[in-house]
Amino acid sequence: AQSVTQPDIHITVSEGASLELRCNYSYGATPYLFWYVQSPGQGLQLLLKYFSGDTLVQGIKGFEAEFKRSQSSFNLRKPSVHWSDAAEYFCAVAPNTGFQKLVFGTGTRLLVSP
């Protein structure tokens, strides 16, 4: 069965500092990979996705993620965090078999300190 692990429940970063959120997945083949962001009381917004090709993908709001097949990882990064980035971040995978079911990690809450 597919699973997604986000080992950090909370992360605090100073405004302007760099950010890396970790995501590891377990799946027999390379799945499709996603990062979503959820602000309090809101739905989920897609930040970026990886289907195939270049392993470094760019997303919205200045985020990027790197797929590393050897480590089964898809870590999210941002060079300089803004206070508005404070939110919950979810990594998700979907099987590349034609169905669109997303399997999510438990999320990482990002706190941004002044």
Cβ neighbours of residue 99 closer than 8 Å, sequence gap 6 or more: none
Round to whole Å and give the CA distance between 93 and 100. 10
Residue 43 binding other proteins, by CB under 8 A: yes
Residue 34 binding other proteins, by CB under 8 A: yes
Residue number with CB closer to other proteins (6 or 78): 6
Burial of 41 (0-12, 13-18, 19+ CB in 10 A): exposed
- Write down the residue that tokens 């990979």 correspond to: 33
Residue 60 binding other proteins, by CB under 8 A: no
Report whether 92 contacts 104 (CB < 8 A). Answer: yes
Q: What is the DSSP letter of 53?
A: S
Burial of 99 (0-12, 13-18, 19+ CB in 10 A): exposed
Residue number with CB closer to other proteins (18 or 97): 97
Residue 92 binding other proteins, by CB under 8 A: yes
Residue 51 binding other proteins, by CB under 8 A: yes
Residue 111 binding other proteins, by CB under 8 A: no
Residue 101 binding other proteins, by CB under 8 A: yes
Q: Smallest distance from the beta carbon of 66 to other proteins, in angstroms?
A: 19
Residue 98 binding other proteins, by CB under 8 A: yes
Q: Which residues bind other proteins (CB under 8 A)?
A: 4, 32, 34, 36, 41-46, 49, 51, 90, 92, 94, 98-107
